[in-house]
Structure 1
């Protein structure tokens, strides 16, 4: 009887482990995933860090165009290559919310989803340091909006830091003016805080390659990363912002021809702008984009009804002539070409439709979009930050329609453009 009990217990454990291994987690590779979408060789650790950006202008409490100062507390989630026992599970549960703070029609609803990382694991020691990637979400969003990508890059030897932008997340969304003036400074501050490896980031000391860094932004994150990389905002947009914000001049340091405009951070070698917002609102002009000289990879849907495509994202790509740039376009996709797939909870009857459509695309499987993003962003960052020869992944399809890295008959609904920098 004891032998039978042991056998029964063993079978239960075996079946559970098989079921666990087969469970699809955001970012896992589908059968038709392109080559570089698969996870890398490293196990992944994850930690939550806290940074405080002191003495920042508090536009939400500004009066007569003048703002008091306050400290912006920023929560940052960091994924990294980790030392993990092979026998330990790497499944993690992330805590997130649906809804939007302050919107009575869309109350905050907690939910969870799984990833493949280990909380507070020891960073993996290596003879080489790991390039840094900072990720900025949209309005509204959170640091967990693109875990399919953050975990994937960490498994390939990157340290990836995703920001919760204060007053711009699901939990604390506030007036849009805060996002407009704080997005670029937040990204720059976290980039510098991470590279200094001090405070909560001290565990990275000696492991982070500050000479090779990238920034990734989605929607309002794209609005921010392009500015940090030298794409100053236009004078026309600044004038509009002053009217919108009651005379505030707080955007001026981020505008073209302003002597306070900060130089591109040292070590910044690549930018990924996913559905960047603003061009249709005069955020950039051809003149203000002259300062964007960091190689930039744009990703867009050609039916984007938030950022716009022909007069929006594609127009930025075409006017940023002083940088090497790429544009990946999803045919018949709208704005949601960057997030995780919709959570199961978003499909419950009675919820506001936008809880589902905050993530989903009408004509694409979000998991496939995730895989394609993983593939091309890996190729781009490996090329620009690690010096790996992945240029061939950006070559045009051959006469049979085959694209390097894609399985036969799967490179459909996609267009990839590229341009060299002008002298």
Structure 2
């Protein structure tokens, strides 16, 4: 027989657990905290989401290179597309994303399925009332997935963008393969997806994207190895040292040479449809992936986002060195002081908070920062940057800031909240 005290304690625990579950469900990745900067708020469009399957035919299968020769394969790509949508009356913008913790082929970190909720409606009718919307292509880290930045993808779709996030084959949690595949395929995947979205969004297409995306106004967003890839697509050709490093990893493959600054066809691959780039913690500079000539090839408006203590991509000799070397680009560098590498992902999912998942938790977390706070700040600045370059919006005041946020309150931030940040800006 339970005592009254025990019953009351049990009831209290039940109420507490219920309240916590309700709070967790109500506050989803990307929702604005009370101190979120101005442009972090969602836009006026409803958000739909759909999954697409594509195949990039006859690609170099660098993971099966032997004696310097590589077979070819049909490379599958899964995309998640968020877009402005019409939300029927009485329908909630809720979607369940299915994801995993762990790493494929690593017995020490087995795959653990989990799900989390987002603010979008699966298969909603597109909102064609806004005409064709600018396109944003999002590229995750190594490993990662198309769901790694849903706080940002959903937010941008609500502001009138078609946003496409790529599952880079052999680079996701579920199918993690050798690093050379990531080194070679990141820029190739990005360009292929841009071409496919152009085809699918043509007005004569029978696809749901017909007339919905304006790929002549495209931005690329990449995180870590995704940042490596989008910078190369945007004009930062790889160095001869990068091609040599790639050959050593693969047993003699020369496939990466086509993406070097010296390659005859590289400059011709620069795509005029791409208008702007956002690179979160791009990897590669400390490994000699770019030299001065390669960085000078970056001429598109670019926003870099970094942590001053990044121990994966490096800061002074890594991301900041890329920013300094991109002398022909109108560029920004947003720095989170004392942050490490994880300045882009969603907050750690609930599954990563359980005992035994410290490595998975560290994959998302920042020791000195609140990840939801980082998410809101990213939403604010990416909205301003893409609004200027893809939509011609008058958002310049949000980027014309004192370098040190501690010295003077930044425009768009609530009083006493613009702390621990730096914003650099340089023009060609």
Instruction: Tell me the TM-score normalized by structure 1.
Output: 0.93
Alpha-carbon distance in structure 2 between the residues aligned to 1:230 and 1:136: 17
Superimposed CA distance per residue, residues 332-384 of structure 1 (whole angstroms, 9 cap, x where no aligned partner): 00000000000111111123x21100000000000000000000000000000
Q: Does 1:192 align with 2:195?
A: yes
2:131–2:211 contact (8 Å) kept in structure 1: no
Superimposed CA distance per residue, residues 189-215 of structure 1 (whole angstroms, 9 cap, x where no aligned partner): 011111221699821111211221100
Alpha-carbon distance in structure 1 between the residues aligned to 2:130 and 2:140: 32
Alpha-carbon distance in structure 2 between the residues aligned to 1:222 and 1:67: 26
Compared CA separation, residues 201 and 362, structure 1 to 2 (3 A): farther
Per the alignment, residue 37 of structure 2 pairs with: 34
Per the alignment, residue 336 of structure 1 pairs with: 342
Structure 1 residue 260: Cα displacement: 2.4
Alpha-carbon distance in structure 1 between the residues aligned to 2:373 and 2:427: 29
Q: Does 1:278 align with 2:278?
A: no
Q: Does 1:131 align with 2:138?
A: no
Structure 1 residue 400: Cα displacement: 6.7
1:279–1:315 contact (8 Å) kept in structure 2: yes
Comparing 217-226 with 255-264, greater Cα deviation is found at 255-264
Q: Secondary structure at the match of 1:81?
A: strand
1:41–1:155 contact (8 Å) kept in structure 2: yes
Compared CA separation, residues 317 and 43, structure 1 to 2 (3 A): same
Alpha-carbon distance in structure 2 between the residues aligned to 1:165 and 1:127: 30
1:290–1:320 contact (8 Å) kept in structure 2: yes
Alpha-carbon distance in structure 1 between the residues aligned to 2:320 and 2:207: 40
1:194–1:201 contact (8 Å) kept in structure 2: no
1:366 pairs with one of 340, 349, 371: 371
Alpha-carbon distance in structure 1 between the residues aligned to 2:316 and 2:113: 37
2:420 pairs with one of 395, 399, 413: 413
Compared CA separation, residues 238 and 400, structure 1 to 2 (3 A): closer
Per the alignment, residue 13 of structure 2 pairs with: none
2:201–2:211 contact (8 Å) kept in structure 1: no
2:81–2:165 contact (8 Å) kept in structure 1: yes
2:304 pairs with one of 276, 298, 303: 298
1:115–1:147 contact (8 Å) kept in structure 2: yes
Superimposed CA distance per residue, residues 131-151 of structure 1 (whole angstroms, 9 cap, x where no aligned partner): 000000000000000000000
Compared CA separation, residues 201 and 231, structure 1 to 2 (3 A): farther
1:299–1:327 contact (8 Å) kept in structure 2: yes
Per the alignment, residue 383 of structure 1 pairs with: 388
Structure 1 residue 266: Cα displacement: 2.3
1:121 pairs with one of 120, 124, 131: 124
Q: Which runs of 5+ in 1 are unaligned?
A: 1-14
Alpha-carbon distance in structure 2 between the residues aligned to 1:372 and 1:53: 35
Match runs of 1:392-411 below 5 Å: 392-397=397-402, 401-411=408-418
Per the alignment, residue 250 of structure 1 pairs with: 255
Per the alignment, residue 345 of structure 1 pairs with: 351
Match runs of 1:313-332 below 5 Å: 313-332=319-338
2:406–2:421 contact (8 Å) kept in structure 1: no
Q: Which runs of 5+ in 2 are unaligned?
A: 1-17
Q: Does 1:88 align with 2:91?
A: yes
Match runs of 1:235-246 below 5 Å: 235-246=240-251
Superimposed CA distance per residue, residues 300-330 of structure 1 (whole angstroms, 9 cap, x where no aligned partner): 0010000000000000000000110000000
Structure 1 residue 128: Cα displacement: 2.7
Q: State the number of aligned residues.
A: 405
Per the alignment, residue 202 of structure 1 pairs with: 207
1:238–1:252 contact (8 Å) kept in structure 2: yes
Q: Does 1:150 align with 2:153?
A: yes
Instruction: Tell me the TM-score normalized by structure 2.
Output: 0.92
1:27–1:148 contact (8 Å) kept in structure 2: yes
Superimposed CA distance per residue, residues 54-109 of structure 1 (whole angstroms, 9 cap, x where no aligned partner): 00000111110110010000000000000111321111111000000001110000
1:221 pairs with one of 192, 217, 226: 226
Q: Does 1:311 align with 2:317?
A: yes
Compared CA separation, residues 400 and 58, structure 1 to 2 (3 A): closer
Q: Secondary structure at the match of 2:28?
A: coil
CA RMSD in angstroms comes to 1.9
2:55 pairs with one of 52, 67, 77: 52
